[in-house]
Amino acid sequence: MTDSISEAGSTCEAVIAAADFPVFVVTTRAGEETSGCLVGFTAQVSINPLRFLVGLSQRNHTHRVAQRAERLNVHLLGQDQVELAALFGSETGDEIDKFARCAWHPDSTGLPVLSAAAGWFGGKILERHDFGDHTVMLLAPDTGVAPPADVETLRFLMVDHLEPGHDA
């Protein structure tokens, strides 16, 4: 039985990797503490009302800040923004201030918006659910800036070589 479970897990991972999903940078703030990280576990889960899920690794700094936060901002990166993805995916807020190393500005709620992002949206965190090594946060998007129509999105296979700031 273990072999078939392991085999199914490998098959599932291969299918998901082949889909080459987009990656996003999520930013948040709780009190005066800001944080952000690269995420791949995301999905729009409802049209009306609009709802979006974000999965955050329970080992990273952004998770700890998001547990105390009311909102998240979700940033879409273009294919030419691997360096920005590396900053938010390979570094940890436990050791550096990522926002001191990139251009950003606060949105109307005070959360960081990455100036170089192709587009972004923000929303209130409606629910949090423990899904093993990640906490999934359900957002109600209510603000943001749309990307240009011709944006070529940064995708998983373009950043899978990055070493994460924390184990997942």
What's the pLDDT tens digit per position in 109-161?
Answer: 999 999 999 999 999 999 999 999 999 999 999 999 999 999 999 998 888 87
* CA atoms of 35 and 51, how far apart (whole Å): 22
At 54 the three-state DSSP class reads strand
- The structural domains of the chain, with segments of one domain joined by +, span 21-159
In the chain, % of residues over pLDDT 90:
76
| pLDDT tops 80 at residue 103 | yes
* CA atoms of 148 and 57, how far apart (whole Å): 30
| Cβ neighbours of residue 97 closer than 8 Å, sequence gap 6 or more | none
- Cβ pair 61, 144 in contact under 8 A: no
Q: How is residue 102 annotated by DSSP?
A: S
Q: Summarize pLDDT for 11-67 with one digit per residue, the tens.
A: 888 888 888 889 999 999 999 999 999 999 999 999 999 999 999 999 999 999 999
Superfamily the domain 21-159 falls into:
Electron Transport, Fmn-binding Protein; Chain A (2.30.110.10)
